[in-house]
Structure 1
């Protein structure tokens, strides 16, 4: 049926039915989170309605679904005084502060009931919707709480805002007189991500976060621009002139849903402190899966009469508080930008910054992903940046506060940084890729070198896992990272030409014997740049576990003897690489548990440097023995060096330094007596 086939009377009847059905669809979709028809079907109904209204314009009413976007752009927003103040809430941050708040209420009114309505604290723009006789007449922002801005034309474009409250026999009196709905205008996380993805594709700058975008959108002067962005209104309170209309906060939520207002669906009535905290803790675990961002929970005394009697102190009511979760954003200063080389040869830049607490944990680094991301952010050393971390995800740099940038700041020249940090390597950026990679080294070749090092005598010392076997395992696709050797089975090896029954079993047994390696050997075997065997021992003795080393700050790392700024930043960069973190988790999943055992023996507290050639053993073997006895092996003479072992072809510079520092010079025979 088309508009041309109807006379005016039939069109009027059809229009009423279409409006009712479209509004019913909107109610089920936005409020009840269910669909009574497909979106395409609903769009078809809206199209028919618009055709009828175009044919009979005198039948158009302000609350018609077609009238969400109407009128010309405004030159400015009119100021509106709130009938009742839009108050702020006092923030609390832990159980003790919630308990103190409840106690303060008892001091004012000893008979309060500890029945609370808890709800999610939405991270959006506060707004009040004013309905007169059930029809939306005005939408006003919070402003300063007393005076806000009239944003009615823009709010009308929000699809889940009913232009007319839903008819309901039980609450028919709410369709008479003035009804005010207060809530937050938010943008769903998936809509925000999709919008930024489209902007990236067209080369436009991305928006910072959903909350700022929602607030900025509502303050656009052209309603048509607002209509292009998917905003949502979520109600949290209903106000009537007669307090008895809404005896409890919870009853108000029920009414909002019945009248067609979307609420968070996270409300709960609780009793006493323990149940309040149980709700808060549950919400903290749940919040990452919610459609929109939240930074806490709202806790209100449920009884409205008691709520009103407790009154307001300053700008905040006594009967409600906002429990704030640990901040998911924080600012800090970029100390350095370090490039980490992954197992595939990819060069990943990492921002190292002053430690800052984000989402309840201390973070000090964030991956910058690639050169394009550095250019997009225009992040530089010395910049003040906003760090964000949603839940357990790895922290990221959200934006640079360029207003705080130093005048002599220099942008990052990525190729030059690669050349400076890795002068021994050449890099290439393959066409169509965003990542620079080590030139001439494929992922498999890097993996072969890494695995050979991991299995070497200085590291895990895995018997029979030499270079030839490493090459065979990688080329056969049996090993794709270091941890994969712990997945190997005898049957896997027997498929390769190099292995027979005995040799296959021997390698499987040798690998299994290293599932609890010495922590310092495991750490050295990971191949972290600048972390040699002795540094691995020093780090192990200081931190005693991989978990503690994983979260160590640069300043904490520098407390370790022999660890300076460059080594500390290299360690931080390695643990900031997502691939490396995943590798450590995989080791743990496969039952690999490095063990810390403090080395002690006859050489504890003594340090050695060897210069020249030893006749009885290699330098590595001597270093290993020194460490086994609790001693420290150094590569250069320092003030704390106990002995300089002078072998054949002694280096003159080391002898000179030993004399300068008063280091005792011994020969090979004396060393053998000490280590045997």
Structure 2
């Protein structure tokens, strides 16, 4: 047998036994036999490097560390799920579904408490894996995902498909990891989910490889050449291809069966070897899903049911007040630390003054706390029989604890707000968001510079940025002539950002970048959006009632309208720009960008390509026409060389643009 034949045989055997062990949990050979085969394969690949391929089982050991994770734009948007907390809310979901597609089957799954990822396969080979990120852009963590043994590096068939799964850490592995960290003096992970997220985002894949991560694939996002009619059918198909699919799949003929199964899962969830934070209900029929469609944030064909939160008893040691980005003063209870839902809690939100009064919460009280939706700790009840008489009433401060400005509570409102325009608690975070890459993208205006501007009283709101002068900025620390000129130029350039970027930059609650784009595209001008009615807003399919209420409340605030007037007066664009295709020189061409470009930001290069009819993707494949390579290119360059894809530099790119 030649080395090539033996390597091929070993790969097939190791992949088969990995599948038996890590996916089916039904091994056929001993660990020793498996280890000996892996050892032989490693030795052969060292002797014959040309035989080592990206789908080899040896690649799970972990490669070299990376400097940082590259952003990866999802081919299919990774949406979140709407939540239900009661049987009534589930029946409301069922009624909404039936009103559109009639009676339907559902599938109930466990909602694994982990980190959602996307896996892309081309010709049966695992090529890219990424985190969810904001749903539109995540991080490329392919090297780390390859270390998870339940992820197949090669499928049974040569398919092009995209799947979504949940990476998690089993409870036993979590406890073992924390024991090891405690012995070595490292900080402990709060819960298995945090441990999984921290492990998957290690810059060194070899560290990830040592963590016992696992995955359940729960959705087929896209597939070529295969027709799938139902969700159950898709998961059975994925299982045949080598994936470890979501456990406890229950097909239900109606919502009554769904509710019964959810009750059953609640009985067994503490006995599971991993954490869940609820159950997921999905429409089984794929065509019905397409008819139901999605909002900006979540699909209308699925919903997550969250079980009642775990409760614990503890004591309120004190109450502090924190100031949010909107100026809201939020009282927070300082608690005697207590473990709840897998993590140690020492603080809990008290929401507002009415909440404290209605529940009669006093400093020194014994209270019952829970995690609302398994995330935010809150006080739900006072154990009044434990009172000693030493408890003290809490009084909401009349001045902002951050800036000392008068704090007022308007009639009919539950929230007390700071009136200070230069309150650092709310202003700093608001300006950071306004200047961020996805908003106005003001290069050089980072958190440190913003803090300097605020500390020196040079700005009191986002509009003041456009009135900054050279003579004011040059006096600041670490701001030389070139830095000041570059910053002022970046501020000036930001005036021409498109309307959706301005809307997003305002920081309207519930309005992300995608929703801002939809609003800009629909209303065309800031003035039209400002004057929109509830009915006009909700007539947009992707805008729900809560989003509409948030938009109306934002523009009702006089101070917000005044700031927009000042932005407009200084020349900030308030109109949706019409997209003009400059030429079609890149029509039908696919580009991949890698490394650091000297002349262009990556988004700018992407726009230049798209404006000329081309497409930019995050991974190199046989369908790629050009790889635009900058300084320090990554593995994409190697992949392009292997596939014989044409690689161009910035000079060649400019020549193409000038044709």
Taking structure 2 as the reference length, the TM-score comes to: 0.50
Judging changes above 3 Å, is the alpha-carbon distance between structure 1 residues 221 and 184 closer, same or farther for their aligned structure 2 residues? same
> Residues 322-372 of structure 1, C-alpha deviation per residue, up to 9 Å, x if partnerless?
001122478x97436xxxxxxxxxxxxxxx999xxxxxxxxxxxxxxxxxx
Show the counterpart of 1:258: 240
Judging changes above 3 Å, is the alpha-carbon distance between structure 1 residues 397 and 269 closer, same or farther for their aligned structure 2 residues? closer
> Residues 277-305 of structure 1, C-alpha deviation per residue, up to 9 Å, x if partnerless?
11101111111111210010000000001
Show the counterpart of 1:273: 255
Q: Which runs of 5+ in 1 are unaligned?
A: 1-8, 337-351, 355-380, 391-395, 405-550, 567-676
Determine if the alignment matches structure 1 residue 150 to structure 2 residue 150.
Answer: no
Judging changes above 3 Å, is the alpha-carbon distance between structure 1 residues 11 and 397 closer, same or farther for their aligned structure 2 residues? closer
Query: Which aligned pairs between 1:343-362 and structure 2 lie closer than 5 A?
Result: none
Q: Is the 8 A contact 1:329 1:386 kept in 2?
A: no
Judging changes above 3 Å, is the alpha-carbon distance between structure 1 residues 306 and 552 closer, same or farther for their aligned structure 2 residues? closer
Show the counterpart of 2:28: 36
Show the counterpart of 1:556: 385
Shift of 1:107: 1.9
Judging changes above 3 Å, is the alpha-carbon distance between structure 1 residues 291 and 58 closer, same or farther for their aligned structure 2 residues? same
Residue 313 of structure 1: SS of its match in structure 2? coil
Aligned counterparts of 2:261 and 2:220: Cα–Cα separation in 1:
23
Judging changes above 3 Å, is the alpha-carbon distance between structure 1 residues 329 and 184 closer, same or farther for their aligned structure 2 residues? farther
Which structure has the larger Rg? Answer: 1
Query: Which aligned pairs between 1:34-433 and structure 2 lie closer than 5 A?
Result: 34-109=26-101, 111=102, 113-165=103-155, 167=156, 172=157, 175-176=158-159, 178-242=160-224, 245-328=227-310, 334-335=315-316, 383-384=334-335, 387-389=338-340, 398-400=344-346
Count of residues paired in the alignment: 351
Shift of 1:204: 2.6
Judging changes above 3 Å, is the alpha-carbon distance between structure 1 residues 13 and 49 closer, same or farther for their aligned structure 2 residues? same
Shift of 1:159: 1.6
RMSD: 2.9
Aligned counterparts of 1:312 and 1:75: Cα–Cα separation in 2:
36
Q: Is the 8 A contact 2:55 2:126 kept in 1?
A: yes
Judging changes above 3 Å, is the alpha-carbon distance between structure 1 residues 397 and 179 closer, same or farther for their aligned structure 2 residues? closer
Show the counterpart of 1:596: none
Aligned counterparts of 1:25 and 1:353: Cα–Cα separation in 2:
57
Aligned counterparts of 2:148 and 2:390: Cα–Cα separation in 1:
53
Greater displacement, 320-329 / 283-292: 320-329
> Residues 580-612 of structure 1, C-alpha deviation per residue, up to 9 Å, x if partnerless?
xxxxxxxxxxxxxxxxxxxxxxxxxxxxxxxxx
Residue 2 of structure 2: SS of its match in structure 1? helix
Aligned counterparts of 1:56 and 1:329: Cα–Cα separation in 2:
59
Aligned counterparts of 1:203 and 1:44: Cα–Cα separation in 2:
34
Shift of 1:90: 0.6
Shift of 1:74: 1.2
Aligned counterparts of 1:320 and 1:400: Cα–Cα separation in 2:
34
Show the counterpart of 2:421: none
Shift of 1:389: 3.9
> Residues 207-234 of structure 1, C-alpha deviation per residue, up to 9 Å, x if partnerless?
1111011111211111111111111111
Show the counterpart of 2:416: none
Judging changes above 3 Å, is the alpha-carbon distance between structure 1 residues 118 and 152 closer, same or farther for their aligned structure 2 residues? same
Q: Which runs of 5+ in 2 are unaligned?
A: 321-331, 351-379, 392-659
Aligned counterparts of 2:43 and 2:192: Cα–Cα separation in 1:
35
Shift of 1:102: 0.7
Residue 136 of structure 1: SS of its match in structure 2? strand
Q: Is the 8 A contact 1:386 1:397 kept in 2?
A: no
Shift of 1:555: 1.3
Q: Is the 8 A contact 1:334 1:382 kept in 2?
A: no
Aligned counterparts of 1:228 and 1:97: Cα–Cα separation in 2:
42
Residue 145 of structure 1: SS of its match in structure 2? coil
Aligned counterparts of 1:107 and 1:72: Cα–Cα separation in 2:
53
Judging changes above 3 Å, is the alpha-carbon distance between structure 1 residues 557 and 304 closer, same or farther for their aligned structure 2 residues? same
Q: Is the 8 A contact 2:230 2:285 kept in 1?
A: yes
Shift of 1:245: 2.1
Shift of 1:40: 2.2
Residue 16 of structure 2: SS of its match in structure 1? helix
Aligned counterparts of 1:120 and 1:397: Cα–Cα separation in 2:
21
Aligned counterparts of 2:383 and 2:203: Cα–Cα separation in 1:
48
Aligned counterparts of 1:35 and 1:158: Cα–Cα separation in 2:
17
Aligned counterparts of 1:386 and 1:125: Cα–Cα separation in 2:
26
Greater displacement, 44-53 / 183-192: 44-53
Aligned counterparts of 2:62 and 2:43: Cα–Cα separation in 1:
16
Residue 269 of structure 1: SS of its match in structure 2? strand
Aligned counterparts of 1:76 and 1:291: Cα–Cα separation in 2:
32
Residue 127 of structure 1: SS of its match in structure 2? strand
Aligned counterparts of 2:192 and 2:386: Cα–Cα separation in 1:
37
Q: Is the 8 A contact 2:167 2:214 kept in 1?
A: yes
Taking structure 1 as the reference length, the TM-score comes to: 0.49
Residue 29 of structure 2: SS of its match in structure 1? coil
Aligned counterparts of 1:250 and 1:397: Cα–Cα separation in 2:
34
> Residues 172-225 of structure 1, C-alpha deviation per residue, up to 9 Å, x if partnerless?
4xx23x211210110000000111112223333211111011111211111111
